[in-house]
Structure 1
Amino acid sequence: MKISELDKKKVLVLGTAKSGIAAATYLVKTGAVVTVNDGGTPSENDVKTLETLDVETVFGSHPLSLLEGIELIVKNPGIPYQIPLLEAAMEQGIPIWTEVELAYRSTEADWVAITGSNGKTTTTTLVHELLKRGSKRVHLAGNIGFPAVEIAQQATAGDLIVIELSSFQLMGIETFKPVSAAFLNLSPAHLDYHGDVASYGEAKARIFSKMDASGRLVVNADDKGVMRLSETAKAERLTFSRQQNAYAHVEDGMILIDQTAILPVSELALGGGHNLENVLAALTLIEPFDISLEAVQEVLRTFGGVAHRTEYIGEFVGRKVYNDSKATNNVATEAALSGFQSPIIWLCGGLERGADLTPLGSAMTHVKHVIGLGETGQRFADLAHDQNVAATVTREMEEAVSVAFDVSEPGDIILLSPASASWDQYKTYEERGEHFIRSVQKTGGAAK
């Protein structure tokens, strides 16, 4: 079904929120006859917006009678396919799209798409920053920007739309065909939605299902699941790895893309081992778009990442400071610690949930001082002592940051990566990270 064929077609928009409202607004413009259905109660703002549109609305349930005469469903990605309404629609052969498919069909712009279990947001944001240095007009869409169908209306032929895609969104595409796409990694997630890891992986793999030999598919050489799923891809498949066995890799501390030296790893503003992989993926994704090496280097030296995810805060009296407040478990913190070669002053601790901290010991190779705070502060200090690393226990953030500057030297890394939830002292990890940043600016700024 082409967008031009939607005039007078009966379309059901399932779910409100940003994507649902954007889809309904666009569909009305195409001349479609639109019904908007939400199983719950939409927000007051959504209700007001819908009242300005020529649509019918049904709230509070998903009655099967809604399917009468319906020729297309555009559904919110988070609504499972197992609800009776969608099961009946599938039995009747009614196409079910997510808003991404609608957006793709509504523009002649080219798409650069990123999926994976981890790192999507950082990689997508970095790709957007890099592509902005080129000659094409670039737009950011999806979960970290505006709804894709809104952005698609602003884009024209020759433009680029960069989008982060979840497995939920990818399950509702039919013709979506990016010119450059990345499948970063695969680990068990959203199994309540997909049922099992195999189904989850297959949903992710839909990102390249319509790509052909003219497209570029960037995949993680070290992820067996990703490599297996991408074996059937028709697009040119290029790999990335921190090892020397990939198209994009690291050799003697230098980032190489197809043997072209880009930048020493030590000069990256973006910290964390996982973020090095994100950088390799991003550079491979944008290679066809002729961004100058100088522009690429400038972005890599200044791009600090996404807020609270190994976010580069800046350099204060010779110390590089990173905020990784979102790291609320061992796995996330291990990845952050492994990404630095310089001595690390590690601020950690938070809510006591009884987690086993011993696996973190193997990631402490470059840690020279541990500063424990919050309910688990003493446990992290005990872990440090077991690793023959100096430690200090503090009560709150400003004290911890003050100690970090006292015990560090120029050239050191000051890293907040708590490996603990924030709820002992803060409502959210964002609040914790923002307090850390304010404390660094106060203490580090005064030390200049």
Structure 2
Amino acid sequence: MEKQWHSKKVLVLGAAKSGIAAATYLHHAGADVTINTGNIPPEDEQDKIQALGIRSVFNEHPVGLLNETEVIVKNPGIPYQIPLLQEAISREIPIYTEVELAYLATEADFVAITGSNGKTTTTTLVYELLKGGKRPVHLAGNIGFPSIEVAADAKTDDLIVIELSSFQLMGVESFHPRSAALLNLSEAHLDYHGDFDSYADAKGNLFRQMTRDDQIVVKLTDSEVMKRVPTHLAPNTFSFERGDASVVDGWVTVRGERVIRVNELALGGAHNVENVLAALLLVEPFDIPKAHIERVLRNFGGVAHRTESLGDVLGRAVYNDSKATNNVAAEAALRGFDAPVVWLCGGLERGADLSSLVPALSNVKAVVAYGETKERFKELGESQKIPSFTVETLTDAVALAFEQSETGDIILLSPACASWDQFKTFEERGEHFIHLVRAYEEANR
């Protein structure tokens, strides 16, 4: 696998964990590697690059680097619009992301998941399900180790479960997963892709090399998803209402066979039921024992900050959905509960139209909004005659949410906004929320 890189002149764009992992693999494979970043990396990254003994160019992307470049391996977040990449495209220099590099580095099979929402939960669930099979399984990408590190160590019979973004899928050509899912599509990352169709088509690249012998998993009731399935493929479909995997009479079913009752799932919310349905189809080719599947589904409670259950807190069921940084994600969370919901929302002002959230507010008994967007969320709630309040910070919001709720209610943090007005990341916001909930519980026992 490494022979193809011997003496090849490769430009690695971007450092951080994945860029350094790619540069390390290529250097050890005998490539002539240059690593280039548009900023000055932190000292620890510079030390790692220096230890490799490869050429480095920091704080700019000089087009002259292309004169000695045969292949580019690009960090997914670097836009194709920068002059260096535009010139590379005009010169027809191949531009890969780390995912393509990983695929070329191994004979292991990939199980790949993409979509606008639910990727991380589904990917992690698939990993847990596959651990009950006979084949060694690895978790790679955004929620595991860099994919090239995993691929370089994986054996032929191994399975690699990987979550993929639209950014990553723009840079694949030969990538061919054995089982793959496109969960759903909604408007996202339009500042990067330019328009919805370009974004959705990038997601559709997942299926580019797949055949009818592979497991293609798609949401039947999402028309934009179905448009991205190549006509020669025979997809396996899921949705809450119908498909090869669906919910029938309160049971999760696959091809008509009952698997588990919906009310026995550890994951909460209708959107997570669909993630379960997709996961069951994704693992179908790998002969996982039914007893293991049932055990995982009864115990897998989700991923941190993604409709993460914090359990019973003073008689309320509290959920941390800090990852919900847009309307679609928040709508999915809100629709997932039948009990009365006190909704904590707000954050960075991006000017999004909030009206699409109205149909999901039927179970909301109170809106507690904070941050830059607080007044607009208050107006949204009041337009539906829902008691709505504004506070400055998440700290104040948590206390007010408990005051506005009662035993049996749901307290849901699902901001529908990015966190950057008050927090560095959605993870930091979620961790702060958990801390605030635990502190309030301790003080009011």
Q: Same fold (TM over 0.5)?
A: yes
Q: 2:244 matched to 1:247? A: yes
TM-score (norm 1): 0.86
Which residue pairs with 1:20 in the alignment? 19
Residues 85-129 of structure 1 deviation map (CA, whole Å, 9 limit, x = unaligned): 333333333322211111111112110001112221221122112
**How many Å apart are 1:162 and its aligned residue?**
0.7
Alignment match, 2:117? 118
Q: Does the aligned pair in 2 maintain the 1:372–1:391 contact within 8 Å?
A: yes
- Determine the structure 2 residue equivalent to 1:301: 298
Report Cα offsets for 1:352-404 as digits up to 9, x if no partner. 9698766545323344x426364788987887677676788888255335436
CA distance change for structure 1 residues 397 and 220 in 2, over 3 Å: closer, same or farther?
Answer: same
Query: Do structure 1's residue 222 and structure 2's residue 218 form an aligned pair?
Result: no
Q: Is the 8 A contact 2:367 2:381 kept in 1?
A: no
Amino acid at match of 1:104: Y
- 1:229–1:304: structure 2 CA closer, same or farther, 3 Å change rule? same
1:192 equivalent to 2:191? Answer yes
Contact 1:10–1:69 (CA<8 Å) still a contact in 2? yes
For 2:42 and 2:103, the matched residues in 1 are separated by: 27
Report if aligned partners of 1:273, 1:337 keep a CA contact under 8 Å in 2: no
Contact 1:133–1:291 (CA<8 Å) still a contact in 2?
Answer: yes
1:55 aligns with 2:54: yes
- Further displaced range: 55-64 or 138-147: 55-64
* Residues 382-401 of structure 1 aligned to structure 2 (within 5 Å): 396-397=396-397, 399-400=399-400
Residue 345 of structure 1: aligned partner: 341
Q: CA deviation at 1:84?
A: 3.3
Does the alignment pair 1:326 with 2:336?
Answer: no
Could you list the runs of 5+ residues in structure 1 that have no partner in the other structure? Answer: none
1:188/1:204 Cα in 2 relative to 1: closer, same or farther (>3 Å)?
Answer: same
Shift of residue 62 of structure 1?
2.7
Q: How does 1:106-255 map to 2 (within 5 A)?
A: 106-234=105-233, 236-244=234-242, 246-255=243-252
Distance 1:42 1:181 in 2: 34
Q: CA deviation at 1:257?
A: 1.1
Per mean C-alpha deviation after superposition, the further-off stretch among 252-261 and 75-84 is 75-84
Count of residues paired in the alignment? 440
Contact 1:127/1:162 (8 A) holds in 2: yes
2:35 aligns to what SS in structure 1? strand
Give 1:243 deviation, angstroms: 0.9
Q: Which amino acid aligns with 2:117?
A: N
Residue 77 of structure 2 corresponds to which residue in structure 1?
A: 78
Contact 1:131 1:286 in 2 (8 A): yes
One-letter amino acid of the counterpart of residue 139, structure 2:
L
CA contact (8 A) 1:397 1:439 kept: no
- Structure 1 Cα separation of the partners of residues 80 and 419 of structure 2: 34
- Alignment partner, residue 332 of structure 2: 335
Shift of 1:144: 1.6
Structure 1 residue 351 displacement after superposition: 5.1
CA distance in 2, matches of 1:70, 1:105: 19
Does the 8 Å contact 1:344/1:415 carry over to 2? no
CA contact (8 A) 1:271 1:322 kept: no
What is aligned with 2:32?
Answer: 33
In the alignment, the residues of structure 1 paired with residue 270 and residue 4 of structure 2 have an alpha-carbon distance, to the nearest angstrom, of 48
- CA, structure 1 residues 117+346, in 2 after alignment: closer, same or farther (shift >3 Å)? same
**2:359 is matched with which residue: 359, 362, 365?**
362
Q: Alignment partner of 2:107: what SS?
A: coil
Q: Distance in 1 between matches of 2:166 and 2:374?
A: 37
| Counterpart in the other structure of 1:403 | 403
Alpha-carbon distance, 1:45 to partner: 1.7
Unaligned runs of 5+ in 2: none
Q: Which amino acid aligns with 2:138?
A: H
1: CA distance between counterparts of 2:122 and 2:23? Answer: 30
Rounded Cα–Cα distance in structure 2 between residues aligned with 1:192 and 1:424? 19
Does residue 281 (structure 1) correspond to residue 278 (structure 2)? The answer is: yes
Deviation of 1:141 after TM superposition, in Å, equals: 0.9
Change (3 A) 1:315 1:20: same
Tell me, what secondary structure is at the counterpart of 1:219?
strand
Distance 1:20 1:263, change over 3 A: same
Classify the secondary structure of the residue corresponding to 1:396: helix
Which residue type is aligned with residue 368 of structure 2? G
Distance 1:344 1:33, change over 3 A: same
Structure 1 pair 326/105, CA: closer, same or farther in 2 (3 Å)?
closer
Please identify, of 25-34 and 414-423, the stretch whose mean Cα deviation from structure 2 is larger.
Answer: 414-423
Residue type of the alignment partner of 1:262:
V
- Cα offsets for 1:215-248 (capped at 9, x unmatched): 11101111111111204253x410111112x111
Residue 372 of structure 1, aligned match among 364, 368, 373: 368
Note closer, same or farther for the CA distance 1:446–1:126 as it changes in structure 2 (3 Å cut).
farther
SS in 2 for 1:23: helix
In structure 2, do the counterparts of structure 1 residues 272 and 171 end up closer, same or farther at CA, with 3 Å as the change threshold?
same
Q: CA deviation at 1:74?
A: 1.5
Q: 1:336 to 1:54 in 2, by over 3 A?
A: same
Indicate how the Cα distance of structure 1 residues 313 and 173 shifts in structure 2: closer, same or farther if over 3 A, else same.
same
* Partner amino acid, structure 2, of 1:230: V
User: Partners of 2:439 and 2:404 in 1: how far apart?
Assistant: 13
Percentage of identical aligned residues: 55
Corresponding residue of 1:438: 435
Asked whether the 8 Å contact 1:270–1:303 carries over to 2, the reply is yes
Report the secondary structure of 2:110's partner residue: strand
Residue identity opposite 2:366 in structure 1: V
Q: CA deviation at 1:416?
A: 2.9
Q: 1:281 is aligned with what amino acid?
A: A
Question: Alpha-carbon deviation of 1:33?
Answer: 1.4
